Amino acid sequence: MILSKLCRGGLLDDARAHLHKRIEQGWTVSVAVFNEVITSYSKAGLEQEAFHVYQTMVDSGLSPSSSTCNALLIGLCDRGRFLDARKLMDKMVDIGFHVNVSAFTIYIDACFRVGNIEGALECWNEMETKGIRADVVAFSSYINGLCRANYVDKALDAFHRMCGRGLVPNNFTYNSLISGLCRVGQTAEALKFEKEMRHNGFIPDIFTKNIIIDGLCRQGRMRMAYDVLMEMYTSGLKPDVVTYNTFINAYCKVSDWATAGSYFNKMSFDGSEPDIFTYNIWIHNFFSSCNVHLAVKVLDDLALTSLVPDTFTCNIFMNAICHDVLDRAMILAGKLLKMAFVPNTVTVNLLLSHFCKQGLARKAIAWGERLSEVSFTFDDTTHNILEWAYREVKEVAQVPSELRKDTFLEFLMRFTFEFLCKVKHLECRPLIINNLFDNGIYNKSKFMDVK
């Protein structure tokens, strides 16, 4: 009970110290207790510490359970260490450990979350080849991942296979499909699934309604979206900030500021407080329509709230700063830096692309090389921008932009570079997966499957 309380409170090092103390005092500690500490460390992104606790469990003469494996996999997958996660799963299979459907589900879901669709599909096929039958959770996670990746046809096939096996879909399954169909513009099909959902005894929740409203707004079918909003009221569902943000964004996109403002006021009247996404919607759309003074006013209003600007807020302003005339750009940059600007990969891409746009491709290449030297992770966009810069250098004689703008861009990139260097996490020490289960395990009793 003490360990559970410490883990729930996030006091993981205290929980670990308490665990060691009890072991030293000769107490018998169960696998379930070890699993709770391992899971807590893994979910906190501290996979190294999770493995240390695992080793303590093994040293205490206990054998890991399926839940132990799953907890370790969560930590590795959440940190993007998919090769280590696969090695762990393969090693456990090699030594006769039962890797259950939950382990595969964890890995597949993590692959989908980082956009590794090929890895997710490969793992799903391997799971079925090994004869491990997917349960409702596995199917729902798989369908959700496919829908997020816009593989809606595959998701529908999986849904029909799931139902054909006698498994009953739940709200999450239906919401995933409805969302996927709306995202690819098949709103009519999405509405059919909502009816089927009702027919099968499931009540559409706030998530279902928000998904449908978003799909209708994307297609400009505002009257139907409004009708769904009215249905929510009559069915006892209270619209939330997501509902209102969807309407505000839809009307802002067509520069109907008055209607967007009316939904903003209605949101406050209904007791839903604006969140950072609400402010981002206004800022983004004001900049897109060249209403810079209104975007700056929203930023000033945001500064008076308790909300913290996120990286999206900062990157909206960064993009505007790079486009704007120098004097106003410097003022905007000053405001941004005061609000604890947090650069990321998107920021880097914005700056590199603006170097190229302003005739400074050589500087983009130079900064790309500096970022490579500190092992900064480039994404596909970064690589595309640098390829563009190399082509520009090769094909066109570069004519630099105004010197002061050149210097200003250099300042922004230098600030971004220094910030990223400062917060860069230490490289993870490699885990020797092959040795994880060796220390005293093989001569122990058969593996337990303690939940």
Query: Could you tell me if 47 and 79 are in contact, meaning their C-beta atoms sit under 8 angstroms apart?
Result: yes
Q: What is the pLDDT of residues 233-280, one digit of tens each?
A: 898 899 999 999 999 999 999 999 999 999 999 998 888 899 999 999
CA dist 87 and 73 (Å) reads 10
Q: Which of 266, 242, 310 is nearest to 302 (CA)?
A: 310
Query: Could you tell me if 409 and 333 are in contact, meaning their C-beta atoms sit under 8 angstroms apart?
Result: no
CA dist 184 and 190 (Å) reads 10
Name all domains of the chain by residue range, CATH numbers in brackets.
1-99 (1.25.40.10), 294-342 (no CATH), 345-426 (no CATH)
Summary mean pLDDT of the chain = 81
Decide if pLDDT at 159 tops 50: yes
At residue 30, the pLDDT reads 73
Stated pTM of the model: 0.75
CB-based burial, 26-48: b 16+ in 10 Å, e otherwise:
eeebebebbbbbbbbbbeeebbe
CB atoms within 10 A of CB 177: 28
Q: Which of 181, 142, 171 is nearest to 159 (CA)?
A: 142
Alpha helices by DSSP H, listed for 149-221, are: 152-164, 171-183, 187-199, 206-218
Task: Give me the mean pLDDT over the 133-144 stretch.
Answer: 94
State the pLDDT confidence band at 131, using cuts at 50, 70 and 90: confident
CB-based burial, 341-370: b 16+ in 10 Å, e otherwise:
bbbebbbbbbbbbbbbebbbbbbbbebbee
State the pLDDT confidence band at 53, using cuts at 50, 70 and 90: confident
First to last CA, the chain: 16
List, as one string, the DSSP characters of 405-434. Answer: HHHHHHHHHHHHHHHHHHHPPPPPPPP-GG
CB atoms within 10 A of CB 222: 17
Least confident range from 62-66, 104-108, 271-275, 401-405: namely 401-405
CA dist 318 and 331 (Å) reads 12
Helix (H) or strand (E) run with residue 101 in it:
helix 101-113
State the pLDDT confidence band at 186, using cuts at 50, 70 and 90: very high
Query: Could you tell me if 182 and 211 are in contact, meaning their C-beta atoms sit under 8 angstroms apart?
Result: yes
DSSP helix/strand/coil, 437: coil
CA dist 73 and 93 (Å) reads 14
Q: What is the helix, strand, coil percentage profile of the chain, to 5?
A: 70, 0, 30
At residue 380, the pLDDT reads 84
Task: Give me the mean pLDDT over the 48-59 stretch.
Answer: 76
CA dist 280 and 400 (Å) reads 33
The better pLDDT of the pair 8, 391 is held by 391
CA dist 278 and 392 (Å) reads 39
CA dist 417 and 424 (Å) reads 10
Task: Give me the mean pLDDT over the 94-115 stretch.
Answer: 83
Q: What is the pLDDT of residues 405-451, one digit of tens each?
A: 677 788 888 888 888 887 664 344 444 444 454 443 333 333 333 33
Q: Quote the percentage of the chain above a pLDDT of 70.
A: 84
CA dist 347 and 312 (Å) reads 9
The better pLDDT of the pair 326, 147 is held by 147
